[in-house]
Chains A and B, each alone.
Chain A
Amino acid sequence: AQKITQTQPGMFVQEKEAVTLDCTYDTSDPSYGLFWYKQPSSGEMIFLIYQGSYDQQNATEGRYSLNFQKARKSANLVISASQLGDSAMYFCAMRGWYSSASKIIFGSGTRLSIRP
Chain B
Amino acid sequence: DAGVIQSPRHEVTEMGQEVTLRCKLISGHNSLFWYRQTMMRGLELLIYFNNNVPIDDSGMPEDRFSAKMPNASFSTLKIQPSEPRDSAVYFCASSSSRDSNNEQFFGPGTRLTVL
Q: Which residues of A contact B (CB under 8 A)?
A: 33, 35, 37, 43-47, 50, 52, 91, 95, 100-106, 108-109
Contact = CB atoms under 8 A, between A and B. Distances in A.
Contacts of B109: 43-44
Nearest to A42: B108
Given A108-B42, A109-B42, A102 B101 contact: no
B48 A43 contact: no
B55 interface: yes
A106 B42 contact: yes
Nearest to A104: B104
Interface size class of chain B, counting residues whose CB lies under 8 Å from the partner chain: 20 to 34
B50 to A, nearest CB: 6
Contact of B106 (A45, A103, A109): A45
B45 A105 contact: yes
A50 B48 contact: no
Contacts of B31: 102
Contacts of A91: 43
A47 B42 contact: no
B65 interface: no
A105 B104 CA distance: 11
A46 B4 CA distance: 12
Nearest to A101: B55
Q: Most chain-A Cβ atoms within 10 A of its Cβ — which of B33, B93, B104, B108? A: B104
10 contacts: A43-B109, A45-B91, A47-B105, A52-B101, A91-B43, A101-B56, A103-B48, A105-B45, A106-B45, A108-B42
A101 B89 contact: no
B50 A101 contact: yes
B68 to A, nearest CB: 18
Which interface residue of A44, A46, A102, A109 has the most chain B CB atoms within 10 A? A102
